[in-house]
Amino acid sequence: MNYDFDQIINRRESESIKWNLYETDVLPLWVADTDFLSPPSIISSLQDRIDHGIFGYAKPQDSTKRAIQLWLDKRHNWKVNLVDVVLIPGVVQGFNVAAKAYTNPGDSILFHTPAYHPFFNVAQNSNLIQITSPLSRDPSGSYKVIEDDFQSSVTPETRIFMLCNPQNPTGRAFSKSELLSMAKVCLKHKILICSDEIHSDLVFTETNHIPIASLSEDISNITITLLSASKTFNIAGLKSSAAVITNPILRERFVQTTNRFAGSVNLLGEIAMRTAFENGEDWLNMLLSYLEINRNLLFDFVQSELPGVHMSKPESTYLGWLDCGDTGLRNPSGFFLEQAHVALNNGSWFGDEYNNFVRLNFGCPQERLLTGLERMRTALLQR
Ligand SMILES: Cc1ncc(COP(=O)(O)O)c(C=O)c1O
């Protein structure tokens, strides 16, 4: 079946935050959802459930866990048991639950920067000390984990490391050796790993996603993996995700804390997630081909048409991380909003030191992406 990712859909008439935060002449390339229709199979499974007409409290279904189990095996070569899978509403809730479940006030929590902004709230939410470890950047602009840097960020109080793999906003899909080096440090210092793998199905052809817990039993024993179909299949508003925890003691603690603080997965979200993992593979393969073209188009355009802007090719996600340091702009996202009428995420959202950066969402029809890029080019040339 062919899916039309070029289709232009008016999202302004929906509740979309991406499309309704700014004036109507602004093209929004910010929040991380896409402008694509979800797969037809998801839409029809939701329609079938809606026809039932009663939406009371639901019991999470083994069939959903089974769909996740099969997907992880098929797409990521990771074998887990059905009992390892815990359904939860959201990944942000999941990593906050993990922090609550496994730490005591005064412990420290470690993560890489630049980081997805909600990572910065976790320490305060659970009375923890926040430690950030900047990813190292090579001359090509690509970010990497350097074991010594990571190791030197660890303190005796560090209890939990929040990994984001693939990484938002840099788009890195970490290599086996990078993952092993982080895991080695965590095993040595008895640090739990909470691995946010929400972008794991959005990886381009040159690499693949490696779930850190799949690397060894020892690593799996200290890891809580969080995943969802939400980014990939454009169902983020339906609040459904999963945690995979193979260590029964950690899992029990996570389940208890989830029940206290997060509650259960959304009924319709669970149906959408199950359908995505049961039937979504063809659609996903076509989405990835489309996104890869967008990614390459963005990369080439930035290189040749946006003077002073640099980026490295994201290996994953539909997010471009643009370094505007050589443009001389003091507030690049503000400039592009006011002068180009394009809404991007301000780099400082990912860490104070990244205010020279913007994040651009290329999960949209090519026509929209090109319109946004042309507007940015004109604004840069006319200033
Ligand atoms: C790394 C990462 N984690 C979590 C989320 C959001 O997860 P959820 O909507 O399931 O809370 C996002 C959304 O952009 C994200 O990029």
pLDDT tens readout for residues 55-95: 999 999 999 999 999 999 999 999 999 999 999 999 999 99
CA–CA separation, 132 and 111 (whole Å): 5
Share of the chain above pLDDT 90, in %: 98
Q: What is the CA radius of gyration of the chain?
A: 20
Backbone angles phi, psi at 194, to 5 degrees: -110, 110
Please state the atom number of ligand 1 nearest to the C-alpha of residue 33.
Answer: 14
Mutual angle of helices 366-382 and 281-305, in 10-degree steps? 20
Q: How far is the CA of 23 from the centre of ligand 1 (A)?
A: 25
Q: How far is the CA of 196 from the centre of ligand 1 (A)?
A: 8
3-state secondary structure the chain: CCCCCCCCCCCCCCCCHHHHCCCCCCEECCCCCCCCCCCHHHHHHHHHHHHHCCCCCCCCCHHHHHHHHHHHHHHHCCCCCHHHEEEECCHHHHHHHHHHHHCCCCCEEEEEECCCCCHHHHHHHCCCEEEEEECEECCCCCEECCHHHHHHHCCCCEEEEEEECCCCCCCCCCCHHHHHHHHHHHHHCCCEEEEECCCCCCECCCCCCCCHHHCCHHHHHCEEEEECCCCCCCCHHHCCEEEECCCHHHHHHHHHHHHHHCCCCCHHHHHHHHHHHHHCHHHHHHHHHHHHHHHHHHHHHHHHHCCCCECCCCCECCEEEEECHHHCCCCHHHHHHHHHCEECEEHHHHCHHHCCEEEEECCCCHHHHHHHHHHHHHHHHHC
CA–CA separation, 347 and 140 (whole Å): 19
pLDDT tens readout for residues 86-142: 999 999 999 999 999 999 999 999 999 999 999 999 999 999 999 999 999 998 899
The structural domains of the chain, ordered by start, are 17-31+281-382 (3.90.1150.10), 55-279 (3.40.640.10)
Rounded to an integer, the average pLDDT of 282-310 is 98
pLDDT tens readout for residues 329-371: 999 999 999 999 999 999 999 999 999 999 999 999 999 999 9
Tokens describing residue 369: 């992406």
371 exposure class (CB count in 10 Å sphere: 0-12, 13-18, 19+):
middle
At residue 119, the pLDDT reads 98
Q: How far is the CA of 382 from the centre of ligand 1 (A)?
A: 36
Q: How far is the CA of 92 from the centre of ligand 1 (A)?
A: 6
Please state the atom number of ligand 1 nearest to the C-alpha of residue 31.
Answer: 14
pLDDT tens readout for residues 145-159: 999 999 999 999 999
Residue 1 has pLDDT above 90, yes or no: no
**Single-letter residue type at 245:** I
Tokens describing residue 223: 């890891």
Q: How far is the CA of 198 from the centre of ligand 1 (A)?
A: 6
Please state the atom number of ligand 1 nearest to the C-alpha of residue 230.
Answer: 10
Q: How far is the CA of 94 from the centre of ligand 1 (A)?
A: 10
Closest CA to 196 of 268, 269, 109: 109
Out of 31, 86, 88, 91, give the residue to mutate to test ligand 1, the one with the largest number of ligand atoms within 8 Å of its CB.
91
Residue nearest to atom 16 of ligand 1 (CA): 168
pLDDT tens readout for residues 312-336: 999 999 999 999 999 999 999 999 9
Residue 2 has pLDDT above 90, yes or no: no
Residue nearest to atom 7 of ligand 1 (CA): 91
Out of 164, 168, 321, give the residue to mutate to test ligand 1, the one with the largest number of ligand atoms within 8 Å of its CB.
168
